[in-house]
Amino acid sequence: MAKADKAQKKGNGGKIFFVLMAIICSLIALPSTILLAIGCLPSIVAFFVDRTKLKARAISVAALNLAACSFYLLTLWSRGDELFFALELVADPVNVIVMYTGAAAGYGVDWFLSGAVSQILYAKAKSRQQTIQKRQKELIQRWGRVVSGKKQDLEGEGNVSDADEGAPEGDTSSGSKRKGGDKAEQTPSKAALQQEMKDTFASEEG
């Protein structure tokens, strides 16, 4: 508990230091601050709207938004970082549209990459599922349905055993059927099943 409080206080101290440095830098370079504050407004909104831990969407939006603002920022610096010229740049609707177009491109990149990655992961998971189902069928064919792990199969195995125990001594029909079934469906040992599963995972990883 004490460590968590200490880490939280340390994080709050870092945020306060960052805010103070931002205020000082904004006062020193006020024209550049005004240009970036208006031009990077979509990035600020994306940062607060994105509730994910990594904030991948906010990062993609901010990167392309800042790239679009960099041209006007360099133009401002070439003119001596004048306040009047900064206000003239942000007052031009064309300049603002270009800056916000970069942010829109960031949203587009995030949307495209999120969809592509999700499709790739879905296809990979589907392929793995089919491989596991195929291997499960092979194990069932080799060891019997008792290895499927399904409740009805385990109950069916128990019912067959109970029927054999309740059969009369002279009645050999049930015993003979059970004996023939044992040859077809042998209950696997624990070591054999573990080895089968190790081979399965090894083949999938390979």
Q: What is the DSSP track for 130-173?
A: HHHHHHHHHHHHHH-GGGG--HHHHHHHHHHHHHHHHS-SS--H
Count Cα neighbours of 193 within 13 Å in the Cβ-side half-sphere. 13
Count Cα neighbours of 88 within 13 Å in the Cβ-side half-sphere. 8
In sequence order, the 6+-apart residues with CB closer than 8 A to the CB of 136 are: 148
Are 34 and 86 in contact by the 8 Å Cβ rule? The answer is yes
Are 69 and 36 in contact by the 8 Å Cβ rule? The answer is yes
Give me the pLDDT at residue 177, please. Answer: 46
In sequence order, the 6+-apart residues with CB closer than 8 A to the CB of 201 are: none
Give me the pLDDT at residue 205, please. Answer: 59
Give me the pLDDT at residue 167, please. Answer: 46
The phi and psi torsions of 191 (rounded to 5 degrees) equal -65, -40
In sequence order, the 6+-apart residues with CB closer than 8 A to the CB of 143 are: 185, 186, 187, 188, 193
Domain ranges, ordered by start, for the chain: 25-121, 144-161+183-206
Give me the pLDDT at residue 158, please. Answer: 52
Give me the pLDDT at residue 165, please. Answer: 46
Give me the pLDDT at residue 138, please. Answer: 86
Are 145 and 181 in contact by the 8 Å Cβ rule? The answer is no
Distances (CA, A) of 57 to 40, 50, 63, 96, 110: 14, 7, 10, 21, 6
**Which amino acid would we find at residue 26?**
S
Whole-angstrom distance, CA of residue 47 vs CA of residue 103: 12
In sequence order, the 6+-apart residues with CB closer than 8 A to the CB of 66 are: 40, 43, 102
Whole-angstrom distance, CA of residue 113 vs CA of residue 141: 42
Q: What is the pLDDT along the chain (206 residues), one digit of tens a residue?
A: 555 556 566 556 667 877 888 788 788 888 999 999 999 999 999 999 988 888 889 999 999 999 999 999 999 999 888 999 999 999 999 999 999 999 999 999 999 998 999 999 999 999 999 998 888 888 888 887 776 666 666 555 555 444 444 444 444 444 444 444 444 445 556 566 667 666 766 665 55
The phi and psi torsions of 169 (rounded to 5 degrees) equal -65, -35
